[in-house]
Chains A and B, each alone.
Chain A
Amino acid sequence: MTFLVPFIPLLPLAGFAFTGLFGRAMGRDSHRIAVWAVVASWVVAMVVAFGALTHTLGFGEAGAGIKLWTWIPATGFQADMGFFVDALTACLLIVVTTIGMLVHIYSIGYMAHDPGKWRFFAYLNLFMFSMLMLVLADNFLLVFAGWELVGLCSYLLIGFWYPRRSAAEAAKKAFLVNRVGDMGFALGIMAVWTQLGTLNMQDVFHKFGSIPHEWQIAIALLIFCGAVGKSAQFPLHVWLPDAMEGPTPVSALIHAATMVNAGVYLVARCNPIFGAAPEVMVVVAAVGIFTAILAASIAFTQTDIKRVLAYSTLSQLGYMFASLGVGAWTAAIFHLMSHGFFKGLLFLDSGSVIHAVDGEQDMRKMGGLSRKIPITYATMLIGSVAISGVPPLAGFFSKDEILGGAFKNGFLWVWALGFAVAGMTAFYMFRLMGMTFWGPSHVDPEKEHHIHESPPTMTRPLILLAIPAVFLGLVIGFPPESGLLHQWLAPVFEATIAASGRTEAAYNFFGIDGVLAIVTTGLVAIAIVVAWRLFGVEMPSIGLRAQPRPDRVRELSARPGLAELYRGSSNKWWFDDLNHQIFVVWGGRLAAAAFWFDRTIVDGTVNGIGVVTTGAGIRLRRVQTGRVQNYALGIALGLIAMAAAYLLIAVR
């Protein structure tokens, strides 16, 4: 059944071509082809994933490679158009195609009134194609091609409403910052080629131990560079919050569930490379956990509902990288999957909220919506609980595995920061819930009577996503560290885990693992209660009610120690200003200097040569008097010179 694999990316590609060519003419129905393409792709992907995970249907234990043709058959360099499917690929396929399909369906309702709808669906299909190529590729060059293409689609989709200046600039920013990371990735691929002579990933992994250690470190760092760019880790994180300028389905699909996970997937796939360079793993963990706490701190003070979720995404991605860095590979993929589902759910929910209040995104102008948009409210509540890590929802299991892995592998500082971030996550999520759904309504009076629940095309995906948000953890993650997911992914990571010399003790609830779980859950509970007391809660069904206390919030944020933190947080810790200063201001000056140099010195030289030539010509022209006597004088002088020369030579 491996022949099915090429169809997974092919169907969205066909959808893109068809919608791109005929979408405009199709008018109201322009979404149909695209949506059906993605649904079909999902079906095929599920079949393939089933085969890959259960090692049936023609998929072996070590994964199946499918080579279509030789893409670049140059002497000394060869790259294939080929796919590789193993358990890791299957997990990613599940996430990407499921969320992709649900986002497509959601977009039918969300973009119903947009005149550019056909463009939107065409780009979405192109994105699905690119992401699937990235995930399925069996060699680095093809991964890079998919990598670049998803960057392009991100640009196209963030800037979808391009007449709006902020959207166009956000798209540019995303593309440029991504580019920085991509350059590192490209250098890494070149290094792989020069050192190992092949770009096929499985071959590279087998041979990786044979190159000098400095090169192993270099390659690992460069590949991580690409991941930093694509997954918006510090310092290339600045593009993700601005990317919220795009339509909400875009934010849900690309910037929560799929594209940003590409970096995590890349590092996980290249685990033999990173396993050979433990120094780089420390860097990965450090960058990841730092990003996590940085982003969480900024989310505390954001007022745009999508920005909070964006920073939350940054923070959770940081968790995943930290998990990869400490050697808890499967935990990272677990978190990737669960995060994909509940962050996708949260984003689509926020889109529904924005749809309900007629385009308003500022949370200070919301409130009390729980009564008015019940389905959205219920699913968002589920999502928030999941992300906060409340057992037994998905987030609890995945986060707990990460923290446990960090602690047991000796990275205590990672554990400590991650522990803090867990509490912060719960706090800002319930702050969001309080400001949006509970308490008195601050909605603009004109919009207040228009508040309505979203159409079924939008709410059904919400409900469908809520299901894995609740149950995914129990299904594939329980019992912890020996559940289904661990069994599936064991062949992928066991070589690296064995090489690192760590033997994993079995999960013991009555030992350190249980202590950590309880402590974390306790912190989360405290954080939620604090959030309730500051921002309110209204859950009559279980008798919880508290009023928001904005005065207390203001008082707290004015306190001497906290005031500076508040200011720094709401200014995003001034990173955008720093980038602006360095690249825009100083870069602009450098460019101006170069321009001056080019205009004055280079052009001046060239023009100067022309001027000198013309001037010399004008002056030398005067020699041509037309008078024979002048010429005769010249002859006489020349003659004299020659005679004198001969004389001198003869005398000598």
Chain B
Amino acid sequence: MSNSLDSYLVLSGLLFAIGTFGFLGRRNAISMLMAIELMLNAVNLSVLAFGAFVPPLNTHAAVIALLVIAVAAAEATVGLAIVMAIYRNRKTPLVDEYDAMRE
């Protein structure tokens, strides 16, 4: 099982699905950000899986994964900064209340 590409890819897909559920179904903004991190990690996993099983892609996969991690870090930073700024304004971290775009 650990020698087949499919299992890693399915694992990555499951992780991505869990991340989607977390993103769409939770109220707290920070929970949503955590779910986003999960999704990014799922993608990383699938890239590395391809790198492990398809020889021409080996080193490229590693580079890509590295860059993705860096970008994810930047995104987490900015996202949390935004949540904190909104929290200071609205006094709530619940995205239900962020409905200024409501009609």
Contacts and interface: CB of A to CB of B under 8 A. Distances in A.
Pair from one complex: yes
Interface of A: 621, 624-629, 632-633, 636
Nearest to A632: B24
A625 B97 CA distance: 11
20 contacts: A621-B103, A624-B101, A624-B102, A625-B99, A625-B102, A626-B100, A626-B101, A626-B102, A627-B95, A627-B96, A627-B98, A627-B101, A628-B95, A629-B24, A629-B32, A629-B95, A632-B24, A633-B24, A636-B20, A636-B24
B4 to A, nearest CB: 21
B99 A632 contact: no
A625 B95 CA distance: 12
Nearest to A624: B103
B8 interface: no
A510 B103 CA distance: 109
Contacts of A629: 23-24, 32, 95
Report, as a range, how many residues of chain B touch the other chain. 10 to 19
- Looking at chain A's contact residues, the main secondary structure is helix
Nearest to B21: A636
Shortest 6 CB-CB contacts between residues of A and residues of B: A626-B102, A626-B99, A626-B101, A624-B103, A633-B24, A621-B103
A626 B24 CA distance: 14
Nearest to B23: A632
A624 B102 CA distance: 6
Contacts of A624: 101-103
Contacts of B24: 629, 632-633, 636
Nearest to A640: B20
A624 B95 CA distance: 15
Contacts of A628: 95, 98
A627 B99 contact: yes
Nearest to A623: B103
A632 B103 CA distance: 17
Contacts of B32: 629
A624 B24 CA distance: 16
A236 B23 CA distance: 86
A624 B100 CA distance: 11
Contacts of B100: 626
A252 B12 CA distance: 110
B22 to A, nearest CB: 11
B18 to A, nearest CB: 13
A441 B103 CA distance: 93
A629 B96 CA distance: 9
Nearest to A633: B24
Interface in B41-76: none
B102 to A, nearest CB: 3
Contacts of B23: 629, 632
A629 B101 CA distance: 12
A626 B20 contact: no
A639 B32 CA distance: 19
A622 to B, nearest CB: 8
B25 to A, nearest CB: 8
A281 B24 CA distance: 93
Contacts of A626: 98-103
A614 to B, nearest CB: 15
A624 to B, nearest CB: 4
A627 B23 CA distance: 13
Interface in B72-103: 95-96, 98-103
A444 B24 CA distance: 104
A623 to B, nearest CB: 9
A628 B24 CA distance: 9
B79 to A, nearest CB: 12
B96 to A, nearest CB: 7
Contacts of A621: 103
Given A626-B101, A626-B102, 7 more contacts: A621-B103, A624-B103, A627-B98, A627-B99, A627-B101, A632-B23, A632-B24
Contacts of A632: 23-24
B95 to A, nearest CB: 6
A629 B20 CA distance: 11
A632 B98 CA distance: 14
A629 B99 CA distance: 10
Nearest to B20: A636
Interface in B1-42: 20, 23-24, 32
A141 B23 CA distance: 85
B21 to A, nearest CB: 10
A636 B102 CA distance: 20
Contacts of A633: 24
Contacts of B95: 627-629
A633 B24 CA distance: 6
